[in-house]
Chain A
Amino acid sequence: MDFQQLWEITTLPDNIPIVLLGILTPFFLWYGFREAVKNDRLIAQLEADPALAKTHHRKHQPYHPAWDKTVHVWPYLLRIEFLACLAVTAFLILWAVYFNAPLEEPADPTLTMNPAKAPWYFLGLQEMLVYFDPWIAGVILPNVIVVGLMAIPYMDTSPLGNGYYTWKQRKFAIGGFMFGYLVLWLALAFLGTFVRGPGWMIFWPGEIWDHHRVVHEVNVHLHELFGLTDTLQIAIFGGVATIGFLAAAGGATDFALRKYKPELFRKMNIVQYVHMVGFLVIMAALPVKMVLKLAFGIKYVWVTPWFNV
């Protein structure tokens, strides 16, 4: 084991932010969940005691009936904002004094960089390129992510947990979001930053980048496992497999939701429900394709003369 390579990646000035993010995210998760636990405890207490629920002020923060409900922005908010600005400025000054922004050789179209890595905040997307062709990874998926994020408020109809931290009242919503953000976005960005090396090959921590490493990837396509050779047959087979998978995953999601979250099904209207299942299925398709590629070396499940999936 030789962690020289890992150290080099980690201390690259442009990677310091992702290291920081790797510290901040768990911290804020803990910080938020700590509040959620306090609120959940209060909720349980109030649910058990309807009389108390009628009179309680319903916050876990210190409370005194004689206190004003509001405070003046000047000075109580503005001084916080001012101090925050000072702290951020001080932090940036130190950062800018001790770490230089990178500058490589002048751009040269004839001299390819290997690996040509995007900045860390795009590495989640770049990693998706391993599993899907660019028209999906670079065009369809980013658009689905944006539209999916925008659709969240219109699909999540639960009035619970509006404006306070809670876990027990929103397990499904928070679990789904965190899976997408932490696993499918951040974890992939970390993978792209710390594990991907020359040729976009996997070099685990402890391995040194070997620029001459060749891997004879045995990429197969799903239809080859079934011995199909005719173009039309292949296209139809892939279409059936892909659309079949999406339909089956949609059906399974629907079944599980109705079984385990009946209230969710009843509360949502059909347009909300169908879209939510759709987004969940697309979200699930990414890890499924990752497993197919990483574990079984399957590159495409659907090959046609015009596009591949």
Chain B
Amino acid sequence: MVPKNELDTPGLGEVVEKVQEAKDLHLKWLKNPFETELWRSIFRHKVDDAPRNRSLAVLSNVFLHLHPAKVNRDAVRYTFTWGMGGITFYLFLVLTFTGVALMFYYHPTKADAFRDILYLKNDVPFGNFMRNMHRWAAHAMIITVWTHQMRVFMTGSYKPPREFNWNVGVILLLVTMLLSFTGYLLPDDQLGFWAVTVGTNMARATPLIGHEGPLGPEIGATAFNDIRFAMLGGSIVDANALLRAYIWHCVALPLVAGIFMIVHFWRIRKDGSISGPAPVMLASEVKTAKGRR
């Protein structure tokens, strides 16, 4: 039914037509959701299984685009990477998620911290589960970082052109350990308190800038101005140390870790993707000329 005049009020007939149209549209969308305007506004490529679309699926997605579109066919072998770097990164994501959940219930003060943990443990729905998960993912991350590093060493993947990315890795190793260390204090229980006390006591002995270190007292280091004081925000592990550990653990160190991970992944791409499994090289093929290849 064609309207006689654009300005006429649509009548019942036209409304019925629209209902018909709604039925047709929904059937069409249900049949092929990938052709809808909504879908195409989110994913900017077709979905039929063609090489171009497989590539675009990765390249046009902000979360996936750290990957290249294609990789060496052997590089996906478990026997080469053991998946350790990837699992480390996934554990970092799990830790971020569970950590944020814990932060909703945690106050970094001497009065609250321990009670908050008890509250999480006993009353908060899934609180104990989140805390356990955060704890064990942290331990697991240490294991996987070490094992990742062992694999990178065994495959000689720190050799040119990946020297710098190995260094980025060493910093990530350090940050991972520091994240664990600062997190240990947060429950404010005996375990964390004494571990952190023992740990930071070592800083007293830093040469020059520790008040018990070689040549420290000689140049004026005291318990109230040395490196340990700067770490703890005081001369003992107390309220300020708790706050500092909290801020390092929940804000500063995750930021540093995140930034270096971005660099790490970027460099893997820029250094020509994963190093192998590369074709073996024979000693007789090494150029005798001095210096780098």
| Chain B residue total in the interface (Cβ 8 A) | 107
Q: Is A236 an interface residue (CB 8 A)?
A: no
Cβ–Cβ contact B187 & A31, under 8 A: no
A140 to B213, CA, bound (A): 11
Interface stretch, picked from A80-88, A220-228, A248-256, is A80-88
- Interface of A toward B, CB cutoff 8 Å: 14, 16-17, 20-21, 24-25, 28-29, 31-32, 35-36, 39, 42-43, 46-47, 53, 57-59, 61, 67-78, 80-81, 84-85, 88-89, 92-93, 95-97, 99-109, 111-113, 116-119, 121-122, 126, 129, 133-135, 137-140, 146, 149-150, 152-154, 156-166, 169-170, 173-174, 177, 181, 267, 269, 306-307
- Interface of B toward A, CB cutoff 8 Å: 51, 54-55, 57-58, 64, 67-74, 76-80, 82-83, 86-87, 90-91, 94, 114, 117-118, 121, 128-129, 131-137, 139-140, 142-143, 146-147, 150-151, 153-160, 162-163, 166-167, 170, 173-174, 177, 180-181, 184, 187-195, 197-199, 201-207, 210, 212-215, 218, 236-237, 275-284, 286, 290, 292-293
Asked, given contacts A109-B236, A116-B194, A163-B155, whether A72 binds B55 with beta carbons under 8 Å apart, the answer is yes
Cβ–Cβ contact B277 & A103, under 8 A: no
A-B contact pairs, 12 of them (CB 8 A): A28-B150, A58-B280, A74-B58, A85-B90, A88-B91, A92-B133, A101-B136, A153-B163, A160-B281, A162-B157, A162-B281, A307-B207
Extra A-B contacts (17), CB below 8 Å, given A118-B199, A306-B214? A47-B283, A59-B74, A71-B76, A72-B58, A78-B67, A96-B129, A96-B133, A100-B128, A101-B136, A104-B191, A129-B202, A134-B201, A153-B158, A153-B159, A153-B163, A159-B286, A163-B159
How far, in Å, is B144 (CB) from chain A's closest CB?
A: 9
Which of B54, B153, B170, B191 is the one whose CB lies under 8 Å from A72? Answer: B54
**A20 partner residues in chain B, CB cutoff 8 A:** 143
**A108 partner residues in chain B, CB cutoff 8 A:** 190, 193
**A31 partner residues in chain B, CB cutoff 8 A:** 79, 82
How far, in Å, is B276 (CB) from chain A's closest CB?
A: 3
Smallest CB-CB separation from B154: which chain A residue? A32
Cβ–Cβ contact B190 & A92, under 8 A: no
Asked, given contacts A104-B191, A118-B195, whether A71 binds B73 with beta carbons under 8 Å apart, the answer is yes
**A24 partner residues in chain B, CB cutoff 8 A:** 143, 147
Smallest CB-CB separation from A186: which chain B residue? B146
How far, in Å, is A147 (CB) from chain B's closest CB?
A: 9
**A166 partner residues in chain B, CB cutoff 8 A:** 156, 280
Smallest CB-CB separation from A169: which chain B residue? B283
**B72 partner residues in chain A, CB cutoff 8 A:** 69-70
Cβ–Cβ contact A43 & B202, under 8 A: no
Cβ–Cβ contact A111 & B154, under 8 A: no
The 9 A-B pairs of least Cβ separation, nearest first, read A138-B202, A163-B278, A163-B276, A58-B279, A153-B163, A107-B193, A307-B214, A163-B275, A96-B132
Cβ–Cβ contact A121 & B177, under 8 A: yes
Which of A17, A43, A67, A153 is the one whose CB lies under 8 Å from B143? Answer: A17
Cβ–Cβ contact A70 & B73, under 8 A: yes
Asked, given contacts A43-B282, A96-B129, whether A154 binds B163 with beta carbons under 8 Å apart, the answer is yes
Smallest CB-CB separation from A69: which chain B residue? B73
A305 to B281, CA, bound (A): 55
**A68 partner residues in chain B, CB cutoff 8 A:** 73
A72 to B54, CA, bound (A): 7
**A35 partner residues in chain B, CB cutoff 8 A:** 79-80
Cβ–Cβ contact B198 & A118, under 8 A: yes
**A118 partner residues in chain B, CB cutoff 8 A:** 195, 198-199
How far, in Å, is A130 (CB) from chain B's closest CB?
A: 13
Cβ–Cβ contact A164 & B153, under 8 A: no
Which of B57, B71, B82, B194 is the one whose CB lies under 8 Å from A71? Answer: B71
Cβ–Cβ contact A47 & B282, under 8 A: yes
Asked, given contacts A80-B83, A121-B180, A153-B166, whether A134 binds B275 with beta carbons under 8 Å apart, the answer is no
